[in-house]
Amino acid sequence: MPAPTTPADASSTLALANRRRFIFRVELMHVVLGAIGFGVALLMAPEPVWIGVGAGAAVAIANFHAMAGLLERLTMGSMQSRSIAVGLLMVKLLVLGAAVLAILMLLSPDAVAFAGGLSATPLSLLLVSAFARPAAVSEEQG
């Protein structure tokens, strides 16, 4: 990436770096919560439950990662890149639906545990947002 030449470019570069840092933190929290949930379920619950938690967390992590990449292309890319990202979004939705269907049919997980594994996404977003520090304090805020 070339060095920013104007204050607007510098601000845009900083915003992109902050966004990427936030997404990285959410993905890391996602993996940690998924691993903890799977570990607890593996130790304390019957097989359909730990399969459900593990499969749900894995699908949620993969979906969030794919969505983050597509949203970056949609918001920061050229028009051609945006068009490709919209097409890839449709493909991602089909793959996600097929993956969920395959997991439910082939692995026979506990449905509640699967939904619990999927809930790692909103929980990760909530935790990272709640404990995130603001990047800079503006003059209006003091």
Alpha carbons 37 and 133: distance in angstroms, whole number:
26
CB-count exposure of residue 55 (10 Å: 0-12, 13-18, 19+) = buried
- The pLDDT tens digits along the chain (142 residues) read 455 556 555 566 777 788 888 888 889 998 999 999 999 999 999 999 999 999 999 999 999 999 888 888 888 777 787 888 888 889 999 999 999 999 999 999 999 999 999 998 888 889 888 887 655 544 444 4
Are residues 33 and 61 in contact, defined by beta-carbon separation less than 8 angstroms? no
- Going by C-alpha positions, the residue among 142, 12, 122, 140 that lies closest to residue 60 is 122
Alpha carbons 135 and 121: distance in angstroms, whole number:
23
Report pTM.
0.77
